[in-house]
Amino acid sequence: MMFSKVEKCRICGSSELTKYLDLGIMPLANSYVDPKSNEKENAFPLEVVLCSNCSLSMLSIIVSPEAMFSNYVYHSSISRTFQNHCLEMAIGVKERLGGKDGLFVLDIASNDGCLLREFRKKGFKVLGVDPAKNLAEKANKEGIATIPEFWQESVALEIIKKHGKADAITATNVFAHVDDVHGFLGNVLLALSDEGVLIIEAPYALNLIKHSEFDTIYHEHLSYFLVKPLKMLFEMNGMELRDVEEYNIHGGSIRLFATKKGNTSFAANPENIKAFLELESREKLYSAGAYFEFASKLLDIKIELLSLLSRLHKEGKMVAGYGASAKGNTMLNYCGISSDFVEFIVDETPEKQNMLYAGNHIPIYPASELEKRKPEYILILAWNFAKEIIEKTAKHQERSGKYIVPIPKMRVLSGAEEL
Ligand code: TYD
């Protein structure tokens, strides 16, 4: 398995890259290990650099995308919170596009059709593209037409030929996975109608830095976006950023609306964009100091979590994890935690069950394991869905079980009302 080194900023091309974080050598977060297999696990450096010119944060290496995305075990539809977010997005986008029925929305990296399902309910004509054959198959079976490919020129051309140009192209939680962001936009320009809008949603790097969300760093996430570098990227590619919105999902995400340059049919909100840029500047995110400060806090998180888990271990308390998320894997591997401290993890994703977590090899089971083993503590590894997970585990609360939520700060809770 191959990886390449990043020598230049993927947005502005500057070679002035400052390394501010080194999480060591880490396995691929979404590569679950079959306990029966003897295959050797691959591990790669996990470091983050900052572009001094446009303030894009990037991993210092790129692992081959085929290794990470061809069979993808992440199903967006597992989380009710995310499904609701998708519904709200479909409603909001329809409103912003004038409320018409029959508009054509193309979703890049459509996963199991989670977002398109909602767009379809709202009267859109929908089409998805996703390289994970297992997920595309699942969406197709549900009647959500999905092309099982990476987003590329040949796919854009095939879509235009068969379906015409899209009124809206959505790309949620995928742009951070893309190395050639200019090529990605070039293909968007091909497939987007002249009055159409591109809607990108990505975790906001301001929250990563300000709320110590370091576990969202793993090999799939090549970039960590602020509004400034994305605005620059659109302008470099004959596009214009028209609006930015912020949502609570995935630890705080930004939704960016961009159109072809000169397309005034989509209402712009320059004041809003200005407010985001001012906020980023006020938070000193255009210079390296804030990033080094962020990096220096991570050791405290590690010490706090290890101290808590070692105390619980000494007291004979059992701890289980909830959510075998990619971010949970960064958290546990960075902290050096294995099944001595967290006996098992539960997750509702069928493909993750009865597998081992990469690196630390903690076993993963269906959620029913909680009722069999009755741990005293649940470490919420998918802290972005803490409320939903706490609500789902009422029985754990009935027997006075507690929750550990490690991000944005270490908390031990008895219920959702303490969140
Ligand atoms: P998530 O935090 O969305 O992402 P990432 O892998 O990018 O860090 O992962 C959440 C995981 O938690 C995912 O494997 C599904 C699982 N999960 C459940 O099993 N049940 C739930 O109710 C929720 C919300 C998540």
Q: From the CA of 407, how far away is ligand 1's center (Å)?
A: 15
Give me the residue spans of the domains in the chain.
Answer: 301-418
Q: How remote is the CA of residue 323 from the centroid of ligand 1, in Å? A: 5
Report which DSSP code applies to 152: -
Low-confidence residues in the chain, pLDDT < 70: 1
Q: Where are the alpha helices (DSSP H) in 165-288?
A: 181-191, 205-210, 227-236, 270-282
Q: Helix, strand, or coil here: 340?
A: coil
Which residues, including other chains, have CB under 8 Å from residue 23's CB and lie 6 or more apart? Answer: 46, 47, 214, 217, 330, 334
CB 310 within 8 A of CB 377: no
Q: Kindly state if the Cβ of 325 falls inside 6 Å of ligand 1.
A: yes
Q: Is 392 close to ligand 1, i.e. is its CB under 6 Å away?
A: yes
- CB 199, CB 253: distance < 8 Å: no
Instruction: Give the integer Cα–Cα distance in Å for 78 and 3.
Output: 31
CA distance 218 to 215: 7
Closest by CA position to 26, among listed 14, 44, 8:
44
Long-range contacts of 366-371, Cβ-Cβ distance < 8 Å, separation of 24 or more: 367/322, 367/392, 367/393, 369/320, 369/344, 370/320, 370/322, 370/346, 370/395, 370/396, 371/395
CA–CA dist 397, 385 (Å, integer): 17
Beta carbons within 10 angstroms of residue 101's beta carbon: 9
Cα–ligand 1 centroid distance for 413 (angstroms): 19
- Ligand 1 atom, smallest distance to 325 CA: 6
Distance CA 51, CA 225 (A): 11
Evaluate: CB of 280 within 6 angstroms of ligand 1: no
Q: Which two tokens stand for residue 34?
A: 């079959």
Query: Residues 190, 191, 195, 201: is their CA dihedral positive or negative?
Result: negative
Per the listing, tokens 């070039």 go with 186
List the beta bridge partners of residue 72.
Answer: none
- The minimum-distance atom of ligand 1 relative to the CA of 392 is 22
Domain 301-418 homologous superfamily, CATH: NAD(P)-binding Rossmann-like Domain (3.40.50.720)
212/335 Cα distance (integer angstroms): 14
> Ligand 1: does its nearest atom lie under 6 Å from the Cβ of 78?
yes
Q: Is 83 in the pocket of ligand 1 (CB under 6 A)?
A: no
Rounded Cα gap, residues 28 and 74, in angstroms? 13
| Residue 384 near ligand 1, beta carbon < 6 Å | yes
d(CA 316, CA 15): 52
